[in-house]
Amino acid sequence: MIDGKCPLCYIKDQIEEQIISKVLSNDMLISDDFVEDLKKYGFCKEHLKRLLNKNDRLSLGIILNFQFNIEIENIEKNNGLNFRDKILKKELNNDKECYICKYSEDLMPIYLNNIIKMYEEKPDFRSLFDESDGFCINHYNQLINHNRIKKDMKKSLKELEIKVLKNIQSDLKYYLEKFEFKNRDLPWLNSKDSIERTINKFIGDI
């Protein structure tokens, strides 16, 4: 497992990278299925930034131009209708589900199942799991509430998560206490990145 990071966040990030690369590939740009998906889905702020950072401006420009056409058509055909209509408001506000978020989330149950299966069947993995830095709170909740997780794994997972969270909180408290005048000469120990590690537990890797 990845030191200090939620392993499921790491996996999700790798999946998203693969989807982003695929979205910008020539094969996708000529795929009828992808064209249909672009009519239903958009891209969230985070994934638009990641698409832009790939520096494939031609492919991204083609996708954005296609989506611009859809938005312009929607605005033109709905001009003058009642904006209190929830369906229309959703369409005109571009409140579409992100294509990359959707397909990455669709794949995550596979990895949740794999973690549970490996914990049950592979003692080496179980040891790594029990000595890891746990999961972000979101993925912890997904895992502990999974319908396949057994009692022994649930117990170990809960104990691990509590231990890790309390360790981070201890570092965070120490970090805050360091700002008191009486503690100014104390060493920082492991507290300097405690804020980042706390945020990682709330929202995943930053």
Predicted confidence (pLDDT) per residue in 73-113, tens digit: 888 887 655 545 544 455 445 568 999 999 999 999 999 99
Cα distances from 4 to residues 76, 197, 198, in angstroms, run 50, 8, 11
Question: In this predicted model, what pLDDT tens digit does every residue of 24-59 receive, in sequence order?
Answer: 999 998 899 999 999 999 999 999 999 999 999 999
pTM attached to this predicted model:
0.81
Backbone φ, ψ for residue 42 (5° rounding) = -120, -150
How far, in Å, CA of 78 to CA of 71, rounded? Answer: 11
Please give the helix or strand (H or E) that residue 104 lies within, else none: helix 99-121
Estimate the crossing angle of helix 7-23 against helix 137-144, to 10 degrees.
100
Instruction: Decide if 31 contacts 23 (C-beta within 8 A).
Output: no
